[in-house]
């Protein structure tokens, strides 16, 4: 049965004991015109915003969880990830000169794929991943005459990948963009790499409110002597219960 159904919706699960409680805390804080920077409901206190997965600094989360009531806000954010991925995939496919029918098919496959379905218990991951088609779409514009605007938009999308609470996607996407542009623009690759580096730098500045406290938290963790690459690729959080 576990080969067919993801056993993560009952008992101890990521959505019940982690992601939903995080967003509920965020929703209550935003409706009180505040941000959940710290919580005393985990251990003897924890810098919940610095850890990042609550997505406290994401404008997208501000709109959804600051306006809509829970659990409607959670479902809206979850379904929104599929919509964002679908629209981005459609536009990217059209930029490749594919037909409208083929672009619709690409959008459906890119958004309602098996990975997205089984990761529905990890909202922040899906929110970050939903921007990947937009990264590919905007990276092509770095070669156009209006490349400065494309660079700014790419920086904005990169920063949102970080702010929603899954910064690993930013690093993976930046590497993916470099490989993609090397294949497309071999003769202009040095200039393209310079533009990508600029987009990454601007994105880190835009998301510094999240990056700086996260780096500080990692430096103070009990695993602080582990290689930096490990912290960039995975967050390990173990708890028997979440009572936020």
For 49-97, the DSSP string reads HHH-TT-TT-HHHHHHHHHSPTTHHHHHHHHHHHHHHHHHHHHHHHHTT
Higher-scoring residue by pLDDT: 100, 221: 100
Q: Helix 59-67 to helix 147-163 angle, to the nearest 10 degrees?
A: 50
How distant is the alpha carbon of residue 239 from its chain centre? 23
End-to-end CA, the chain: 31
Mean pLDDT of 144-160: 88
Mean pLDDT of all residues belonging to the chain = 83
Under the banding of pLDDT at 50, 70 and 90, the label for residue 243 is: very low
Question: pLDDT at position 244, please?
Answer: 41
Residue entry with tokens 């599929």? 82
14 pLDDT band (50/70/90 cuts)? Answer: confident
What ranges do the domains of the chain cover? Answer: 14-233
pLDDT at position 223, please? Answer: 56
pLDDT number for residue 113: 82
**Residue 64: HSE in the Cβ half-sphere, 13 Å Cα cutoff:** 25
Q: Measured at the alpha carbon of residue 223, what is the angle toward residues 220 and 227, in degrees to the nearest 5? A: 105
pLDDT at 42: 74
Percent of the chain with pLDDT over 90: 44
Residues 6+ apart with CB under 8 A from 229: none
Asked whether residue 43 carries a pLDDT value surpassing 80, the answer given is no
pLDDT reported for residue 148: 85
Looking at the predicted structure, is the pLDDT value of residue 9 above 90? no
Say yes or no to pLDDT of 137 above 80.
Answer: yes
Which two three-digit tokens encode residue 2? Answer: 């576990």
Torsional class of 237: left (φ above 0), alpha (ψ -120 to 50), beta (otherwise): beta
Arithmetic mean of pLDDT, 25-45: 87
pLDDT at 231 over 60: no
pLDDT given for residue 241 in this prediction = 38
Structure confidence at residue 112 (pLDDT): 85
pLDDT attached to residue 119:
83
The residues that bridge with 46 in the sheet, in sequence order, are 39
Q: What is the CA radius of gyration of the chain?
A: 19
- The CA-atom distances, in angstroms, between 196 and each of 139, 153, 231 are 8, 12, 23
From 66, 96, 86, 179, select the one nearest 129 (Cα to Cα).
86
Mean pLDDT: which of 38-42, 50-54, 67-71, 186-190 is highest? 67-71
Average pLDDT over residues 97-122: 88
Contact 197, 191 (CB under 8 A): no
Q: Which residue has the higher pLDDT, 236 or 212?
A: 212
Q: Are 87 and 107 in contact (CB under 8 A)?
A: yes
| Per-residue pLDDT, 44 | 74
Q: How long is the chain?
A: 244
The predicted model scores a pTM of: 0.81
- In this predicted structure, the answer to whether residue 122 has a pLDDT above a threshold of 50 is yes
Instruction: Report the pLDDT value the prediction gives residue 130, as an integer from 0 to 100.
Output: 93
Q: Higher model confidence: residue 135 or residue 230?
A: 135
């Amino acid at each position: 049965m576990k080969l067919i159904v993801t056993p993560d919706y009952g008992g101890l699960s990521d959505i019940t004991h982690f992601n939903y409680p995080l967003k509920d805390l965020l929703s209550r804080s935003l409706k009180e015109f505040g941000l959940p920077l710290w919580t005393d409901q985990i251990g003897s206190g924890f810098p919940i915003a610095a850890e990042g997965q609550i997505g406290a600094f994401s404008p997208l989360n501000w709109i959804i969880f600051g306006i809509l009531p829970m659990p409607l806000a959670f479902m809206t954010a979850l379904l929104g990830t599929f919509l964002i991925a679908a629209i981005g995939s459609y536009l990217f496919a059209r930029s490749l000169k594919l037909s409208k029918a083929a672009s619709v098919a690409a959008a459906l496959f890119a958004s309602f794929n098996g990975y997205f379905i089984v990761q529905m218990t990890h909202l922040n991951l899906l929110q970050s991943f939903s921007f990947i088609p937009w990264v590919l779409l905007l990276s092509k514009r770095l070669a156009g005459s209006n490349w400065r605007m494309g660079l700014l938009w790419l920086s904005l999308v990169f920063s949102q990948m970080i702010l929603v609470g899954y910064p690993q996607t930013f690093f993976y996407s930046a590497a993916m963009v470099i490989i993609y542009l090397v294949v497309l623009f071999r003769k202009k690759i040095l200039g393209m790499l310079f533009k990508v580096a600029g987009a990454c730098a601007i994105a880190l500045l835009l998301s510094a409110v999240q990056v700086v406290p996260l780096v500080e938290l990692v430096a103070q963790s009990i695993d602080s002597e582990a290689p930096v690459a490990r912290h960039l690729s995975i967050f390990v959080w173990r708890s028997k219960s979440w009572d936020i």
